[in-house]
A and B are shown apart, each in its own frame.
With several copies, the nearest count.
Chain A
Amino acid sequence: MAEVVSLQDGIRHLLKDGDSVALEGFTHLIPMAAGHEIIRQRKRDLTLIRLTPDLISDQLIGMGCVSKLVFSWGGNPGVGSLHRFRDAVEHSWPQPLVIDEHSHAGLTNRYVAGASGLPFAVMRGYRGTGLDEFSTTVAPIICPFTGEELRAVAAVNPDLSVIHAQRADRKGNVQLWGITGIQKEAVLAGRKSLVTVEEIVDELDPRHGDVILPSWLVTAVAMVPGGSRPSYAAGYYQRDNDFYVAWDSISRDRDTFLAWIDENVL
């Protein structure tokens, strides 16, 4: 059964240096506050796993928390580059960044395999692309019935999976709705999981399109109102698109970036 904890305690007890950590949320419900707590606790040598590394990944990378990134699209959606990500890959600042790069479909299926207790998943894809050549977590596999060649992708099972959701009840049952992306699979693939929520309520009344994560599938829940800003939480607040645009200039320069983190996160 999930334990209700503070964000600080959740990150302190569930994540240690050197761990792999998934932070998921597809534009919506990105666990930004949890990422900031990781920065504040100065976790090091993390393998960060995320389909769409965006601002929170840029911040974690820029602050030197991440030594390896497993991802499938690393940009600022609708705006452009992630400058801290680029600086790490192009100039090893503040430290070298190892990458394990996939397509969305590929990393998605790696989570599905991880959530399913399988060592790999099968898919069409990769063949003929550079991704096939460079990734060590993609391999050929032959259909035993048709002889067709497909691709296997290795399961991903993060040491800790972190998501943000709208609500939990006091028993730790979690409810999220709207665009729920890959979050269910991320939590199920994780060896442990931490869910930050907008609020903890007595009862989870049904919401259309909701995904329920029963308490026994979650390790810990922490109440963090606004925990997804500048991403959004449907039913609570909107996406701060202006901040996403502003991030481009904040993050472009190392000193500006560090000053922003110093003022806004630390």
Chain B
Amino acid sequence: MESSETYTSDEMMSIAAARQLRNNQICFIGIGLPSKAANLARRLHAPDLIMIYESGTIGAKPTRLPLSIGDGELGETADAIVSVPEIFNYLLQPGRIDIGFLGAAQIDKFANLNSTVIGDYRKPSVRLPGAGGAPEIAGASKRVIVMLRQSTKSFVEKLPFITSLGFGTGPHDRKKYGLTGSGPVMVITDLGLLEPDPNTKELVLTHLHPNIEVEKVIESTGWTLKVADELRITELPSKAELEAIRSLVSAGS
């Protein structure tokens, strides 16, 4: 199966992510890859996707891809702007968000996320930006979708720091820690899709993107990756999808 057009692995990742979103869903959007995917979905099959950014905008309809989660166009096109306390306390915390859509620097096999440090917290080799809205998005959204590029540096056996809890050490930790949402349902990478095993909650490779070998995914994972018995192939990007993603102009450019 060959695409009639060439595309990049990042385009494939964004398109695969956009496909997961449904019209009228309420999505809490992290900046970066999730924001791009959500805005792509809005241009394709989900024009009434309701995007919530942590800066306080509800239902923004930007024409360009925002560089920051507080860009002017988000405010100008929003159904409503509320304060940051309202976003977190009134909208996120009570479980009103359908999809929490997150990126991260690192992930482990239970879909816990690190965006804080590489190395020791008190003396890090790389200091990352930190948590932002992620911990509570991961905790309180009804479902969580994660996007990050797959490599042994990003898919690691043990996180140096848990910024946002996926499933902790297995199927019981979310309950133990009082998290109200059901946690990650999918991890979308540039190589394929991973989903938690319904019983163990360990991530399992369920889809390969077109032309990606399963060995490549296994090699790009810092733990012994489980692969689904029925490994499926992601549908190729359509002409419409590629046109839409290429017409997404960043506000910064």
Contact = CB atoms under 8 A, between A and B. Distances in A.
Interface in A185-229: 185, 188, 209, 212, 214, 216-217
A123 B70 CA distance: 24
Interface residues of B, number: 68
B94 A27 contact: no
A182 B136 contact: no
Given A148-B178, A181-B70, A118 B93 contact: yes
Nearest to A89: B127
B196 interface: no
Contacts, number: 212
13 contacts: A72-B130, A72-B131, A86-B126, A86-B127, A108-B84, A109-B88, A117-B93, A117-B180, A125-B139, A129-B162, A185-B85, A244-B252, A245-B252
Nearest to B98: A216
A90 interface: yes
Contact residues on A (Cβ < 8 Å of other chain), bracket: 35 or more
B248 interface: no
B54 A104 contact: yes
Interface stretch (B74-82, B142-150, B216-224): B74-82
A28 to B, nearest CB: 5
A180 to B, nearest CB: 6
* Residue among B58, B88, B180 facing the most chain A CB atoms (10 A cut-off): B88
B171 interface: no
B57 interface: yes
A74 B90 contact: no
B72 to A, nearest CB: 6
Contact of A101 (B57, B92, B93, B130): B130
A103 B89 CA distance: 13
B70 A109 contact: no
Interface stretch (B3-11, B61-69, B197-205, B238-246): B61-69
Given A123-B93, A130-B162, A181 B132 contact: no
A250 to B, nearest CB: 16
Interface in A19-49: 26-28
A4 interface: no
Contacts of B132: 52, 72-73, 103-104
B126 A90 contact: yes
B116 A130 contact: yes
Interface in A107-135: 108-109, 111-112, 115-118, 123-131, 134
